[in-house]
Amino acid sequence: MRLYKHLVSICCFLVLFNCNKEQKIGFSDINITADNNTIVDVNIPEAHGDKTVSNQINSEIQKAIISALHIGNPDEITSSSLEESITSFNNEYNGFKSDFPETAQLWEAQIDGEVMYQSPEIISIAMTSYTNTGGAHGILNISFLNFDSKTGQRIQNNQIFNDAEAFKTVAHPFFIDATKNKSLLIDYKQFELPTNIGYSEEGIVLLYNTYEIAPYSSGILELAIPFGDAEPYLVFNSF
C-alpha cells in the first residue's frame, strides 16, 4: 500500500511538473517576407511553448503588423496573413508607380518587435513600425502589446491598474520632469495616460507617440515609473 501511494505521489508530481513546463513561454526572432517582396522588412518575436498561449500571442502580433501595413480605412482590412499583407503593400506600391511612372519616390516599410518584459504574470512586447508611402516624411509608430502570461490573452490598459486615477497622480510628476526642458506647450493640469503603457526592467513605461501630446517635430516621448512607485496600483506583479 505504501509503495502504491508513493507511486501515485510521483505520478502527480510528474503531471504537475509537465504542466508547469508546458506553460513556459519562450520567444525566438524571425523574419517574415513574401514572394516578390522588395520594400517590406518584418522582424518580430515569435512565441513558442504552450501551444494555446503561444498561438494567442502570435495571432495578436500578426494582427498588429497587418494593421500597420494596411493602406486606407482601418475598418476595411482584408488580409488574413502576414504574407498576404506584405504582398498587398507591394501591390499598392506597384500601382502607385504605374499611375505616376515619372516619380522617383520609393516606398518602404520596416516593422520590428521585441520582448520588453516577461514575468510569470505578464508579457510586454513593443512593436515599432516605420512606413513611407510617398509623403513629406514617413510615419513612425510604436505600440505596446501586453499579454497575460498564463493565457496569452491581450491585457488592455484599463486592466493593468487597480486604480488608474491614483496611478495618474503618481505618474504626473514624472511626466512633468520628462517634458519640462522640451519647450512643449502642454497643459499639465489636463494630464492623461498615453495609449501605450507597458512593463520594462525600468518600471511601467508610458509612451506618447508623435502628435499624441505635441507636434511632429517633438517626436516620441517615453518615460518610466519605477516599480517601487507603481507597484501598489498594478494588477499584475512585476516578479
CATH number at residue 203: 3.90.640.20
Dist. CA 119–CA 140, nearest whole Å? 28
For residue range 28-56, list pLDDT tens digits in order: 999 999 999 999 999 999 999 999 999 99
**Both 146 and 193 in a single domain?**
no
| pLDDT score, position 182 | 67
Q: Which of 15-19, 95-99, 175-179 has the lowest mean pLDDT?
A: 15-19
- The radius of gyration of the chain's CA atoms, rounded to the nearest angstrom, is 22
State the DSSP string of 134-199.
SSSS-EEEEEEEEEETTT--B--HHHHBS-HHHHHHHHHHHHHHHHTTTT----GGG----SEEEE
Please tell me the total number of residues recorded for the chain in this structure.
239
Q: Residue 28 is part of a domain; what is its CATH number?
A: 3.30.565.40
* Alpha carbon 63 to its chain's center: 11
Mean pLDDT of the chain: 88
Q: Strands 196-200 and 203-208: what pairing?
A: antiparallel
Percent share of the chain, pLDDT over 90: 67
Do 119 and 45 lie in a common domain? Answer: yes
Same domain, 236 and 126: no
**What would the pLDDT profile of 146-172 be if each residue is shown by its tens digit?**
999 999 999 999 999 999 999 999 999
Strand order in the sheet with 139-148: 26-32, 40-48, 108-118, 122-132, 139-148
Mean per-residue pLDDT for 131-151? Answer: 91
pLDDT value at position 5? 45
Residue 21 has pLDDT above 90, yes or no: no
Tell whether 138 and 190 lie within a shared domain. no
Which DSSP symbol is given to 72?
A: S
194 pLDDT above the threshold of 80 = yes
Average pLDDT over every residue of 58-71 = 96
pLDDT value for 132: 93
Q: Which residue is associated with the grid cell 505616376?
A: 100
Give the Cα separation of 72 and 8 in Å (integer): 60
In the chain, the number of structural domains is 2
Q: In this predicted structure, what is the pLDDT of residue 196?
A: 97
**pLDDT recorded at residue 23:** 54
177 neighbors 238 (Cβ within 8 angstroms): no
pTM for the model stands at 0.86
Domain, as residue range, for 57: 1-153
